[in-house]
Chains A and B, each alone.
Chain A
Amino acid sequence: MQSLGSPGRHRVTGAERVGPYTLLRLERGRLDPGAPGQFFMLEAPGRLLPRPFSLCLAPAGELAFLVDPVGPGTEALCGLGPGDEIRVLGPLGRGYRLDVERPLLVGGGIGIAPLPYLAEQLGSSPPVLLGFRSSEHAEAATLLPAAEVVIDPVLVTELIEPGHDILACGPEPMLEAVAALCSTAQLAWEAPMACGYGACYGCVVEIDGVLKRLCLEGPVLDAARVRTHAEVAA
């Protein structure tokens, strides 16, 4: 993790539409791309708080993030163009462990974001399953051309076969379904986050049966760790 100080300014080198998403490319500067599944806090122009994004791609000299315009902050980020500058802090949190024997990457919707960089770091072209809610959203699968793709109402979990080390990212219902299929899965979670480094106490989720800060414990967690109070009590 980088030492925590004022986040440096990074120039936008490109912003490409990928289905409904935008792939935002930034000059890397001195930032370390970190481990797949770690995240960066990106300044959202005109907004008070930065937004967390896992790294999607790490081309030479660049860092690229996949942005889903779901609110004013992400919409402002999608509106950036070459030459604009934003502040970037990271890499933060804990990413995926790469010491797996039979990796299977599973993504749902914008949960595809960390998988291209993860696949690259794992090497030897791991199998990838992607699920999207529409064919427009599924255009994001161009980021992982070898992936098997399903579109709602078919669920990505219907394609999972046993015997894999699953590394997944996607909406909570998908992660919960993956956890039910595979207790050793590594799952990347999401939570509203103001700081990304443990200061705001905003991003808690139930981990090991108690509320813990996702930015410090995760965002990638072993499936067995995400348990509710009731599950732990039982």
Chain B
Amino acid sequence: MRILNASGCLDALAAPEVARQLDAFVTKTVTPLPREGNAPPRIAETAHGMLNAIGLANPGRQRFLGEHLPRLGELGIPLWVSVGGFCADDYAETCAALEGIEVVELNLSCPNVDEAADSAAEIVAACRRATDLPLYAKLSAAHPDVAEVARAVAASGADGLSLVNTLRAFALDRRLRPVLARGSGGLSGPALKPVALHAVSVCHEATGLPIVGMGGIETGRDALEFAACGARDVALGTVLFADPGAPARVRSELEAACSEAGVANSDDARSLSKSPETEQKVPA
């Protein structure tokens, strides 16, 4: 099991010693044009979670490729580049410009910007035509049937899935007004974990694609639960904020978690748990 960061939850250039604990670093989402992001306040703590509305702040494709990517390359860590946009061509043009990285993660589910007009499957298909690099589709569990979306992106040529993105949510201040300047934000942290485990399970059953599981992972035991639901790898997000040593700690906790659960390793744990509802739904 590889341990990655969730996109947007770590700046490898600002904190290289954290990034070096990872098996691969996932960049913040890159869009065609620079984005300053949303006005503050952008974050709020909630019960067992937090909201963020950063708004895809990033230097834009040109500066990312010219300045950031070469500096990230010097860190000597496998790189995954998260790609975003507002139509299929946005995504495909960035994919076509990328080389020398391990994976392209397509951010098809940012809760903090207006939705892309094209469907997830159309975007994946356009990117498939634009690059030979492995494509991971990052999906949201907000869809009523995330497994259906997973099947559609698999049919369009996705090589893997990143599950899950944050869920759109609200937090109110003492005067009952939204804490975040944008109003809504994406919910992450332990509150998201049960939702993410379910999404991983049904998408694994539906597609069999490699999955990076994420959503509230704080411990080795949490990571193992994602493996048990079908995730091949995991990503850490919110936990990094309180514990920049989390990747090394979670890795070291995995072994004890395996022996406590009676499995040899995380690969053995995979697919132990099957969701009855998907068994009913998946056609023979």
Do A and B assemble together? yes
- Residues in A whose Cβ lies below 8 Å from that of B248: 5-6
Residue of A whose beta carbon sits closest to that of B179: A192
- Among B9, B37, B244, B249, the most chain A Cβ lie within 10 Å of the Cβ of B244
Q: Decide if A4 touches B242 in the complex (CB within 8 Å).
A: no
A48-B48, A194-B241, A211-B57 known; A200-B43 Cβ under 8 A: yes
Number of interface residues of A (CB under 8 A): 31
CA gap between A159 and B241 in the complex, in Å: 40
Chain B, residue nearest A194 (CB): B241
Q: A4-B15, A199-B11 are in contact. Are A48 and B40 (CB under 8 A)?
A: no
Residues of B within 8 A of A (CB): 8-11, 14-15, 17-18, 28, 36-37, 39-45, 48-50, 52, 54, 57, 189-190, 238, 240-246, 248-249
Query: What is the interface of chain A, defined by CB distance below 8 A to chain B?
Result: 3-7, 41, 43, 47-50, 73, 87, 89, 191-195, 197-205, 210-211, 216
**Chain B residue nearest in CB terms to A216:** B14
Which single residue of chain A is at the shortest CB-CB distance from B58? A201
Closest 5 pairs (CB-CB, A-B): A6-B245, A198-B14, A202-B43, A5-B245, A195-B241
User: B42: which of A73, A197, A199, A202 is its contact (CB, 8 Å)?
Assistant: A202
* Residues of the B chain whose Cβ atoms lie less than 8 Å from the Cβ of A4: 15, 17-18, 244-245
Q: Which residues of A contact B44 (CB under 8 A)?
A: 192
A49 touches B242 (CB 8 A): yes
Q: Chain A residues near B50 (CB, 8 Å)?
A: 48-49, 194
B244 contacts A48, CB within 8 Å?
no
Q: Are B15 and A43 in contact (CB under 8 A)?
A: no
**Which label, helix, strand, loop or mixed, suits the secondary structure of the A interface?**
loop
Q: How far is the CA of A6 from the CA of B246 in the complex (A)?
A: 7
Q: How far is the CA of A69 from the CA of B100 in the complex (A)?
A: 50
Instruction: Give Cα A50–Cα B15 distance, bound, in whole angstroms.
Output: 18
- Tally of A-B residue pairs with Cβ under 8 A? 107
Structural contact, B45 and A47, CB atoms closer than 8 A: yes
Q: In the complex, what's the smallest C-beta–C-beta distance from A87 to chain B, in angstroms?
A: 8
Q: Give CA–CA (A208, B51) in the complex, Å.
A: 27
Nearest-neighbour CB distance to chain A for B128, whole angstroms, equals 30
Docked-complex contact B11 and A198, CB < 8 angstroms: yes
**5 A-B pairs in the complex with CB atoms less than 8 angstroms apart:** A5-B244, A6-B244, A192-B43, A200-B241, A205-B40
Within 8 Å by CB of A89, from B49, B52, B57, B244, lies B244
A44 to chain B, nearest CB (A): 9
Contact A50 B14 (CB under 8 A): no
B22–chain A nearest beta-carbon distance, Å:
12
- Asked if residues B18 and A194 are in contact (CB atoms below 8 Å), the reply is no
Contact of B244 with A49 in the complex, beta carbons under 8 Å: no
Q: In chain A, what residue has the closest Cβ to B245?
A: A6
Q: Are B37 and A49 in contact (CB under 8 A)?
A: no
Find the B residue at minimum CB distance from A5: B245
What is the bound-complex CA distance between A5 and B246, given in angstroms? 8
Q: Which residues of A contact B238 (CB under 8 A)?
A: 48, 194
- Bound together, the chains give a CA A162 to CA B139 distance in angstroms of 58
Whose C-beta in chain B lies nearest to the C-beta of A214?
Answer: B40
Q: A4-B18, A211-B37, A211-B57 are in contact. Are A202 and B242 (CB under 8 A)?
A: no
B244 contacts which of A192, A199, A204 (Cβ < 8 Å)? A199
- The distance from the CB of A4 to the nearest CB of chain B, in whole angstroms, is 4
